[in-house]
Amino acid sequence: MQALLSETPTIDLLASMEAMFLSTVSVVSVITAVMLTLRPDHGRLLVPYQPRRQVPWGGGSVVLIFLFHIYIPILLALLLAPLVLDPAIIENPVLPASAESTPVETTTPESETDQDAAHQVVKLIQRGEPWMILVVCFSTFLITPIAEEFLFRLVLQGFLEKVEHRSRNWLRAEMRESERIGHLTEAVSSGGFWILRLLCSLPRGAFSIVMTSGLFAMLHFRAAGDEYHLEWLMFAIALTAIANILTVIVGTLWLRSRGANAADLGWDLATLPLDIRNGLVTFLLIAGPIYLLQKGLSTVLAQPWVVEMVGVKLAPDPVTIFLFSLVLGFLYLRTHRLAASVTVHMALNGTTLMMILLGTTVQ
């Protein structure tokens, strides 16, 4: 009997665990949807709309904060890499083909059928030491959601909502002026005016949510690539975590200097329990569809004919992350606070990390 068990392929156990996980999250999402439907308000008031003044920062502040976020890790790498990394790794962080480790299968729906396109976090957890895994989990579960929601929801989407609000006011003013003078003004008669009018005819906030989600998804594009030295991966992830922390601190101080108060910055301790509850309920509602879509796209993109047609092995992240970001943007639009979207983001990252760790442990 023991010999039979030892001959059982590990991949069968991992596949069973993955199927059980997908089934569980799907059932939970369906139950959550049914419970919301049975509410007297059919879930419509789960996230009531909270109006607030337009954010006091402009496009220049958005550009400065994003540039800081992009260049601070580069500066830190130039300063710290010679102190903590071997010169040979700095010169060539890519592992030679003969040194590449055999990929470890995981049960997480975020891992691809072909591990060449797997996220660097997945690869580090599979190959790293316990302290490295602890740092990665802390960064992925806590720091990354806060930093990304600060950047994309608060700073960028908040600014785009302001642009949309001003555009709608300008359109109404131009139309009133045209009615007053009895003919179309020069601005109204231009083609750009009607394009802007078409965009502003969308539901309030739709433009800002879609634009932010599109950028957020594009930044998560991944394809098959080289294997890197473990030390280089750990250095890059730790550096990213430090850069994220600095971005939130420096960005908050800058926005405060532009006149932002606590409400503008998306935090309200009085509503924190409500926001966390809304975030958890939202995660339970969308977890099933998100993970099922990720798994389905992973399977399709791993097919040989798809790889041959595209020319590279792609990860499905941009599609699922775009849809996920739409949900985060909607939560921010309704509450104009960060706690709900951060909670959903942390829940997704935490669940995925748990499945990666479980799959690696089983292997």
pLDDT bracket for residue 156 (50, 70, 90): very high
Write the CB contacts of 158 (distance below 8 Å, at least 6 apart in sequence): 55, 57, 264, 266, 332, 336
DSSP 98: G
Phi, psi of 14 (to 5 degrees): -65, -40
pLDDT, tens only, 210-222: 999 999 999 888 7
Q: What pLDDT does residue 113 have?
A: 38
Q: What pLDDT does residue 209 have?
A: 95
Average pLDDT, the chain: 82
> What's the whole-number mean pLDDT along residues 336-343?
95
CB 242 within 8 A of CB 106: no
pLDDT for residue 122 is more than 90 = no
pLDDT for residue 260 is more than 80 = yes
Q: What pLDDT does residue 309 have?
A: 85
**Between residues 306 and 40, the one the model is more confident about:** 306
**Between residues 124 and 230, the one the model is more confident about:** 230
> What is the model's pTM?
0.86
pLDDT for residue 67 is more than 50 = yes
pLDDT for residue 145 is more than 80 = yes
Q: What pLDDT does residue 143 have?
A: 96
Alpha helix stretches (DSSP H) within 104-157 = 120-127, 130-138, 144-148
HSE at residue 56, side-chain half, CA atoms within 13 A, is 14
CB 241 within 8 A of CB 143: yes
β-partners of residue 281 are none
pLDDT for residue 43 is more than 70 = no
